[in-house]
Amino acid sequence: MLTRRALLLWPVTLALAGCAPPSPTPSGGGASTSAPPPAAAGPKVGLLTNGALTDSGWNSLAGQGLEQLEKELGASGSRQNAGPAQAEEALRGFGRDGCKLVFAHGAEFGDAAKRVAEEYPDTIFVVSSGEVQGANLASLRFDLGEASYLAGMAAAALSKTGKAGQIGGQDFPPVVQGFRLFEAGGKTVNPKFTTTITYLGNWHDANAAKEKALGMIRSGADVIFQNADAAGEGIFQAAAESKDVLVIGSNANQNDLKPEIIAASAVLDVPKTFMSVARDVQSGTFKGGVYREDLKSGNVYLALNPAFETKLPAAVREKIDQARADILSGKLKLVSK
């Protein structure tokens, strides 16, 4: 597996460049009185997501990342929303349009990106949460499990029943890993801490998510860890309508969405990661491989809601801080799969 530090050491033949054609050279003799040629257009960057950019979670983060590239690099951004069946043609469209960098934001796009990358060697394709790699193909591996482990510790300390629910959109490996480590972290604080896990089969059905959450609450869960993107709104509603029920957010820092019930968030800094990749491409240091994002990279972390952080016993806060330090030092090794 390649870390970003390793990637930066390798040469590359691809560069992040604008797609605009060169300005024509003035014809005829004598000095030209024409105005200077316009500045070159910024890099053309594509983004493929599996849902709306307004989900306050996974896809919203990708949209923010593209906006940051537009603002800081002058990029010309292009966005597409497609499911796995339409992904290949959507990615091929980015290649035809001359995009030099394309983010396929979801593990389900990996196979399509691998095929299309072979057809467009001058376009760099990057798959979020993917496993694919090649000369012009890389994956971003977000290890949300480490932050989820710490979140589980906080959840177990805040829970009065010792029971939590976990609701995911689909059982993708990173989601499964995060849920498993959430419970493992909780058990270090309360050995009797247990969780119930369910998956919706999609990332948008807020009504189904609400019903699942209400069922878990009726069974005694007083903390819900959600990784369901837009469907998460239903989980927030269920918690808000119930008594003494808290939510742990994921992907984005969701603490401010409903600060009275969201105790913490396991956060991925997707915009910062997108920028890091784009700068590698721009500087000529990109190499196809895997960018691992975790606590050590600084692009994954636990964000505690200050209103609930003060409710954690001092011993638990110290335990969470120590666990984080042990993960960073390598003393505590969490199984990644």
- Asked whether 112 and 87 are in contact (CB, 8 A), the reply is yes
Decide if pLDDT at 30 tops 60: no
Global pTM reads 0.83
Angstrom distance (rounded) from CA 66 to CA 33:
39
Q: In sequence order, which residues have a C-beta less than 8 Å from that of residue 233 and are 6 or more positions away?
A: 56, 206, 209
pLDDT at position 19 over 70:
no
Give yes or no for residue 94 having a pLDDT over 80: yes
Q: What is the overall mean pLDDT for the chain? A: 89
Structure tokens at 332: 């505590």
**Confidence label for 2 from pLDDT (cuts 50, 70 and 90):** very low
Which residue, among 319, 313, 321, has the nearest Cα to 157 in the 3D structure? 313
pLDDT at 155 over 70: yes
d(CA 42, CA 38): 12
In 159-172, which positions are buried (b, 16+ CB within 10 angstroms) versus exposed (e)?
Answer: beebbbbbbbbbeb
204: three-class secondary structure by DSSP: coil
User: Percent of the chain at pLDDT above 90?
Assistant: 83
Q: How confident is the model at residue 41 (pLDDT cuts 50, 70, 90)?
A: low
User: pLDDT-based confidence at 53, cuts 50/70/90?
Assistant: very high
- Across 216-221, average pLDDT: 98
pLDDT for the residue 27 = 36
What's the pLDDT tens digit per position in 276-316? 999 999 998 999 999 999 999 999 999 999 999 999 999 99
13 secondary structure, DSSP code: S
Q: What is the mean pLDDT of residues 93-99?
A: 96
User: Quick one: tokens of 168?
Assistant: 């995911």
Q: Which of 15-19, 100-104, 105-109, 320-324 has the lowest mean pLDDT?
A: 15-19
The pLDDT assigned to 252 comes to 94
pLDDT in tens, 118-152: 999 999 999 999 999 999 999 999 999 999 999 99
Average pLDDT over residues 257-268: 97
pLDDT at 308: 96
